[in-house]
Structure 1
Amino acid sequence: MTRPLCRAALLIVGAALALSGCGIPSTGVVEAGGPASGITATTPLYFVQDGALVAIRRAVPEAGDAAAAIEEMLQGPDVVERSRGVTTRVARTSGPGSLFPADGTVEPGATVFPSAAATEAAAEPVRATAEGDRVSVVLPRGVKAERSALAERQLICTAGRAYRMALRDTAPVTVTVTAADGARAEGTDQDCPDP
């Protein structure tokens, strides 16, 4: 065998050995519709950074469920996200008073003392119904949203992009959000930033 052929053969054998021991376990048979073991589905949740909407991927218990995605978004940005300047214009409150200061952001670590009525309101779930390419979201009492286009886009983009995962379609999803006080917002997820 010539020297270049020997080197090529050694490289191929070495590469095959390296790839065969890369440490990724086989998953075996996976039920239809379920992700392979070790892979967690993530959903884009929308927050605000530097005055603009930003998508952050999070593991949500039920991928494709708009209500579950909104519930996760209502928990707000985590410590790492807040350290990078990520804020929210929508949050679940647990007591009287506003978590929204004059600039519209939720104060990280704000302490609120819950009343019995506020604790009951905080336990109410977000409701969402979907049909075709439309999603209707009803926010419970205890959810505080700034009256702004950014707050509306946070809700619309989070619900629309979550539902799109179940829809498996590229057409825009139209989302209608109704607050507990009856205020409504409607829009599509067409211009939502990608994660």
Structure 2
Amino acid sequence: MKPSARACPLLIAALLPLSACGIPETGVVEAGEPATGVLDPGVTSAPSESVPEAVPLVKVPLYFVEDGSLVAVDRTVPGSTDLGSTVLLLFNGPDGKERGRGLTTELPPAAAAPTIRTDGTGVNVQLPRSAGILTDTAVDQLACTVAVARLRQDPALGSAQVTVEQPGGRLAGRSSDDCPSGADRETPGDPGTAETVPAPDTGEGVGGTGGTGG
């Protein structure tokens, strides 16, 4: 008998137990979902194709000075702002574009952030001791900036009353009704326009309520 003939019965006998147990004779049987989270060696994951969300632009009302008069401007900044961050922007003074238009400020640089409290239409701004005593024009800048920003937070208020508390207990009150308008004329991307409106000549700053104290 040839060797190949003798090998066939032996091979058939070896395969019979495997077939009886349900084990496939040849090939690979795939079952279930493909594995995830594991990459083959040398394969890197594809970069994320998600597009980052665009940061919205907002207009922040600020009051500066030109030739002794208050000037209302809108500065376009990315992201949202609250009263505290708006006041810090004001204390930092005009930016390059605003200085190029001749705008100045009478507010000193802020070494510390003021404390701001709101109660309906009323807003109290407590200045840190490092701020010193402000001029009437500086108080006008601060109060009008806060008042207009407060109304943009809640237009339903109609008006806002701002009290500026300076070191030593000096108080100065201002109303949004007496603040120069024009801050809403600048739009995002626009070089910007500023409307100069002289403050009422009351001798006590905007609104005539003036500051008090010894």
TM-score by length of structure 1 reads 0.59
CA RMSD of aligned residues (A): 2.1
- The answer on 1:88 being equivalent to 2:75 is no
Segments of structure 2 that go 5 or more residues without pairing to the other structure are 1-52, 184-214
Among 72, 86, 89, the residue aligned to 1:55: 72
Instruction: Say whether the 8 Å CA contact 1:92–1:144 is kept in structure 2.
Output: no
- For residue 165 of structure 1, give the secondary structure of its aligned residue in structure 2: helix
Aligned-pair identity (%): 32
Instruction: Say whether the 8 Å CA contact 2:123–2:162 is kept in structure 1.
Output: yes
- For residue 130 of structure 1, give the secondary structure of its aligned residue in structure 2: strand
CA–CA separation in structure 2 for the residues paired with 1:164 and 1:62? 15
TM-score by length of structure 2 reads 0.54
Note the alpha carbon deviations across 1:55-98, whole angstroms, 9 max, x for none. 121227643x32221111000011221222101111226xxxxx
- The answer on 1:142 being equivalent to 2:142 is no
- For residue 94 of structure 2, give the secondary structure of its aligned residue in structure 1: coil
Name the residue aligned to 1:110: none
Instruction: Say whether the 8 Å CA contact 1:45–1:55 is kept in structure 2.
Output: yes
**Residues 191 and 146 of structure 1: CA distance in aligned 2, closer, same or farther (over 3 Å):** same
CA–CA separation in structure 2 for the residues paired with 1:171 and 1:76? 28
Note the 1:146-157 alignment, pairs <5 A: 146-148=134-136, 150-157=137-144
Name the residue aligned to 2:121: 133
Name the residue aligned to 2:168: 181
Instruction: Say whether the 8 Å CA contact 2:126–2:164 is kept in structure 1.
Output: yes
Instruction: Say whether the 8 Å CA contact 2:56–2:79 is kept in structure 1.
Output: no
Structure 1 residue 146: deviation in Å? 3.7
Name the residue aligned to 1:117: none
Instruction: Say whether the 8 Å CA contact 1:135–1:175 is kept in structure 2.
Output: yes
- The answer on 1:68 being equivalent to 2:90 is no
CA–CA separation in structure 2 for the residues paired with 1:165 and 1:174? 14
Corresponding letter in the other structure for 1:185: A
Number of residues of Structure 1 aligned to a counterpart in Structure 2: 129
- For residue 73 of structure 2, give the secondary structure of its aligned residue in structure 1: strand
Name the residue aligned to 1:39: 56
